[in-house]
Amino acid sequence: MSDTTHPPAAERRVDVAGQWTLMWWKFRRHKLALWSGVFVLFIYVIALFASFVAPKDPNAYAARYAYVPPMKVAFMDRDSEGNRTFGFHTHGWKVETDPLTLQKNFAPDPDVRIDLRFFAPAPEPYVLWGVLPMNRVLFGPADATQPFYPLGADRLGRDVYSRVIHGSQVSMTVGLVGVGISLVLGIVLGGISGYFGGWVDNIVQRSIEFLKSIPQIPLWMGLAAAIPAYWSPIAVYFMVTVILSLIGWTGLAREVRGRFLALKSEDFVTSARLDGCPELRIILRHMVPSFSSHIIATLTLAVPTMILAETALSFLGIGLRPPVVSWGVLMQEAQNVRTIATAPWLFAPGVAVVVTVLALNFFGDGLRDAADPYA
Amino acid sequence: MGGYIFNRVLWAVPILFGASVLSFAIIQLPPGDYLTAVMASMRSTGESVEQSQLVMLRERYGLDDPMIVQYWKWISGIVLRGDFGQSFIYNRPVDELLWERLGLTFVLAFASMIFVWLVAFPIGVYSAMRKYSVGDYVMTFIGFLGLATPNFLIALILMYVSFTVFGTSAGGLFSPEFADAPWSWARFWDMMGKIWIPVVVIGTAGTASLIRIVRANMLDELPRPYVEAARARGLSETRATVKYPLRVALNPFVSRLGWELPDLVSGATITAIVLSLPTTGPLLLEALLAQDMYLAGSFIFMLSVLTVIGTLLSDLLLAWLDPRVRHGLM
């Protein structure tokens, strides 16, 4: 470490570094948070390129592959003479119908080899982001007519893997949009409350306490169930996020208010006021920059709450509805214990939720620690 | 103390009023009025709709009156006569359906709270005392995992495990022979044998967050000079930590009780739907989906009322425990 051998140089570097640089240095030391951040970014990239990453259309169905188990991707194989061959491939499944129960059983079929490749032809040409016509997908069977179910299929023979990837689009953005709405509400109400104090503060604080003292999920359920069934999926999506943020803004407002209260009596704010700075400029130019890092951290920690709430509502069938694909909607397939006993891979969207929320929590925790670089 | 209690109880009144307005708003939310839903439901089951009955219902809920009169008819019925309205999917007065299910919901929420305390407290203290040990990391990770996993997913996983491994369904709160039986010790024991599954499910998230709070509190207290002074006087390590820092770390247990309760009731609602427990959750969902709004609204209202009362009790308990709170210093 050269820093320790030349302390004066290092100290000078710390002295002249800006606030955001200091925060980045502090955040960087928190390895778990750093990698979680990278992972979250990775999920958003996947969500952005979902139709390219997913080998199939999320709503494409094939009844004869209903409940087909996951197909393992292998790289090494032996040909008929026993020599090693290389190349991505998987094996198909034989369907055996039980003569007594008429239940379909799948058994691996070593004779059917399905070759896989990167930039495989798409089953059907599609248009990425509504502008780019594409006919390739990231990874899939070399022959697009062959089946490929890396995470198995659901009751209609839809590819769970493709559906989870497409589901990320809705699930990940619900968090962002919801947090965006909460941010506006939280900053405006929390700011007013903290800056003016007095009876305004009292009213806002009492409303926050009121919202917090009522069990959220029954309230969400009541509000979400009132969304008319004939609304378009986009309208439903928007309404759900609005409902989630109408109750979710309270934590943010408290954070903003606390910061305002703490900063209001700081010397630099007083001196700005003595210099004749207008109120709005004091808020925007002097106060907001000193707590924006805390807000970003609180926002990051609010995203997973929104994701979990959307998942729960959609799972109950009163949030988003098919044909919209979100992780909560996908979990509806796994409502029945007999279904998941025969097809445990239907838990996949749940795993996606847990992993994502975990990463967002670690990331947000690291941000919160780094938000105050002088501590 | 008297002044504090008075203020605190007084403050519960506007909250209860707000909860009633909110619940009434939810009753009014679906398009069309209550009778449209009743008629649609009756037609779909092939029942004939009697005009006289409709007129009677219209009169009872004041559906032709302005909103404020309707609200008054609804809330005064509840407060003065205990009349919550009529459920058309069950064709029974709402209050007959309400009380036992509400009671079980709160039994579940309180049992979960006790579970949360019993688990979170020792683990939190252990994590703080053995900071950065393997045990601390494992507990922290499990805690994060518990926070990240939705309640219903834990419930599903438990159901899956018990179905595939033990071959039984984990759902329900009573064995079939006790489902509709009156309360007895046998029924109580039967419930105790099954209640732990929902309790664990509901308690996980709360446990995770409480562990982190206790750990942080203990870590704040342990380096304080008074702990050092206790050690210097020759107190054993256990005594030096248990006697004072632990008592300070105990505060969030009580102060969070009020915060925890709404979450636990929320958790109990959704877990009950997955595990099909005879609590408010499944009936609330059913009522909402069928737009049986007086049933749904009453559930939301009563869940809120009982939560507010629970929070009030926990605040009073905290004031009794902590003089700083009752003198308004915190």
pLDDT at site A1: 45
B289 and chain A in contact, CB less than 8 A:
yes
Cβ-Cβ contacts under 8 Å, B26 against chain A = 219, 222-223, 226
Nearest to A214 among B19, B159, B284 (CB): B19
The amino acid at residue A172 is M
User: What is the average per-residue pLDDT within A121-126?
Assistant: 74
Question: Alpha-carbon distance A73 to B223, whole Å?
Answer: 54
B15 and chain A in contact, CB less than 8 A:
yes
The verdict on a CB contact (< 8 Å) between A354 and B153 is: yes
pLDDT at site A307: 86
B35 against B146, higher pLDDT: B146
Residue-averaged pLDDT of chain A: 78
B171 and chain A in contact, CB less than 8 A:
yes
The verdict on a CB contact (< 8 Å) between A218 and B299 is: yes
A364 and chain B in contact, CB less than 8 A:
no
Under 8 Å CB pairs connecting chains A and B tally to 132
Cβ-Cβ contacts under 8 Å, A347 against chain B = 153, 156-157, 160
Q: In chain B, which among 34-73 make CB contacts under 8 A with chain A?
A: none
Structure tokens at A28: 């960087």
pLDDT at site B135: 81
Asked if B207 contacts B115 with a C-beta cutoff of 8 angstroms, the reply is yes
B154 and chain A in contact, CB less than 8 A:
no
User: What is the average per-residue pLDDT within B181-195?
Assistant: 72
Asked if A365 contacts A301 with a C-beta cutoff of 8 angstroms, the reply is yes
- Which range among A144-158, A272-286, A305-319 shows the weakest confidence by mean pLDDT? A144-158
Cβ-Cβ contacts under 8 Å, A226 against chain B = 26, 29-30
Whether the predicted model's global pTM rises above the 0.90 cut? no
Cβ-Cβ contacts under 8 Å, B289 against chain A = 225, 317-318
How many H helices and E strands in chain B? 14, 2
User: What is the average per-residue pLDDT within B264-280?
Assistant: 81
- Residue of chain A whose Cα is closest to the Cα of B311: A213
A215 and chain B in contact, CB less than 8 A:
yes
Residue B120 in this model has a pLDDT that exceeds 80: yes
A43 and chain B in contact, CB less than 8 A:
no
Asked if A165 contacts A137 with a C-beta cutoff of 8 angstroms, the reply is no
Cβ-Cβ contacts under 8 Å, B295 against chain A = none
Cβ-Cβ contacts under 8 Å, B171 against chain A = 337
A110 and chain B in contact, CB less than 8 A:
no
B297 and chain A in contact, CB less than 8 A:
yes
Residues whose CB falls within 8 Å of the CB of residue B3, separated by 6 or more in sequence, listed in order: none
Asked if B222 contacts B243 with a C-beta cutoff of 8 angstroms, the reply is no
Question: Alpha-carbon distance A359 to A294, whole Å?
Answer: 19
Residue B42 in this model has a pLDDT that exceeds 80: no
Best interface-test mutation with A: which of B132, B156, B294 has the largest number of A CBs within 10 A?
B156
- Tell me the three state secondary structure of residue B62: coil
A219 and chain B in contact, CB less than 8 A:
yes
pLDDT at site A196: 76
Helices assigned H by DSSP within chain A: 2-5, 7-16, 19-28, 31-48, 50-53, 160-196, 198-212, 216-224, 233-264, 267-274, 279-281, 288-316, 327-331, 337-342, 348-370
A288 against B52, higher pLDDT: A288
Question: Alpha-carbon distance A194 to A254, whole Å?
Answer: 9
The verdict on a CB contact (< 8 Å) between A215 and B19 is: no
Beta strands at A104-128 and A84-97: parallel, antiparallel or unpaired: antiparallel
B147 and chain A in contact, CB less than 8 A:
yes
Residue B40 in this model has a pLDDT that exceeds 60: yes
Asked if A366 contacts A37 with a C-beta cutoff of 8 angstroms, the reply is yes
User: What is the average per-residue pLDDT within A142-147?
Assistant: 72
Could you give all domains of chain A from N- to C-terminal order, each with its CATH number? 37-48+164-370 (1.10.3720.10), 71-152 (no CATH)
B304 and chain A in contact, CB less than 8 A:
yes
- Tell me the three state secondary structure of residue B189: helix
Question: Alpha-carbon distance B50 to B101, whole Å?
Answer: 31
The verdict on a CB contact (< 8 Å) between A221 and B31 is: no
Question: Alpha-carbon distance A252 to A44, whole Å?
Answer: 23
Asked if B102 contacts B303 with a C-beta cutoff of 8 angstroms, the reply is yes
Give me the percent of chain B exceeding a pLDDT of 70: 82
Backbone angles phi, psi at A76, to 5 degrees: -110, 145
pLDDT at site B229: 87
The whole-angstrom distance between B156's CA and the closest CA on chain A is: 7
Asked if B55 contacts B329 with a C-beta cutoff of 8 angstroms, the reply is no
The verdict on a CB contact (< 8 Å) between A337 and B163 is: yes
Structure tokens at B8: 């605190």
The highest-confidence range among A41-45, A147-151, A191-195, B91-95, by mean pLDDT, is A41-45
Sheet with A104-128, strands from edge to edge, namely: A74-78, A84-97, A104-128, A132-141
pLDDT at site A106: 74
pLDDT at site A208: 83
B238 and chain A in contact, CB less than 8 A:
no
The whole-angstrom distance between B185's CA and the closest CA on chain A is: 30
Cβ-Cβ contacts under 8 Å, B148 against chain A = 304, 353-355, 357-358, 361
Residue-averaged pLDDT of chain B: 78
The verdict on a CB contact (< 8 Å) between A312 and B303 is: no
- Which range among A215-229, B165-179, B313-327 shows the weakest confidence by mean pLDDT? B165-179
Q: In chain B, which among 116-135 make CB contacts under 8 A with chain A?
A: none
A174 and chain B in contact, CB less than 8 A:
no
User: What is the average per-residue pLDDT within B293-320?
Assistant: 81
pLDDT at site A277: 85
The amino acid at residue A232 is S
Residues whose CB falls within 8 Å of the CB of residue A89, separated by 6 or more in sequence, listed in order: A73, A74, A75, A77, A113, A114, A115, A116
- Residue of chain A whose Cα is closest to the Cα of B273: A316
- Tell me the three state secondary structure of residue B184: coil
B307 and chain A in contact, CB less than 8 A:
yes
Cβ-Cβ contacts under 8 Å, A218 against chain B = 265-266, 269, 280, 284, 299-300, 303-304
H/E segment holding residue B86: strand B86-87
pLDDT, tens only, B140-163: 788 888 888 888 888 888 888 877
Nearest to A337 among B31, B152, B169 (CB): B169
- Residue of chain B whose Cα is closest to the Cα of A315: B152
DSSP string, A69-136: PPPPPEEEEE-TTS-EEEEEEEEEEEEEE-TTT--EEEEEEEEEEEEEEEEEEEEEEEEETTTEEEEE
Cβ-Cβ contacts under 8 Å, B149 against chain A = 354, 357
Cβ-Cβ contacts under 8 Å, A216 against chain B = 262-263, 266
pLDDT, tens only, A71-88: 777 676 766 666 676 667
Structure tokens at B48: 């004939």
User: What is the average per-residue pLDDT within A95-118?
Assistant: 71
Question: Alpha-carbon distance B314 to B317, whole Å?
Answer: 5
pLDDT, tens only, A35-50: 888 888 988 888 888 7
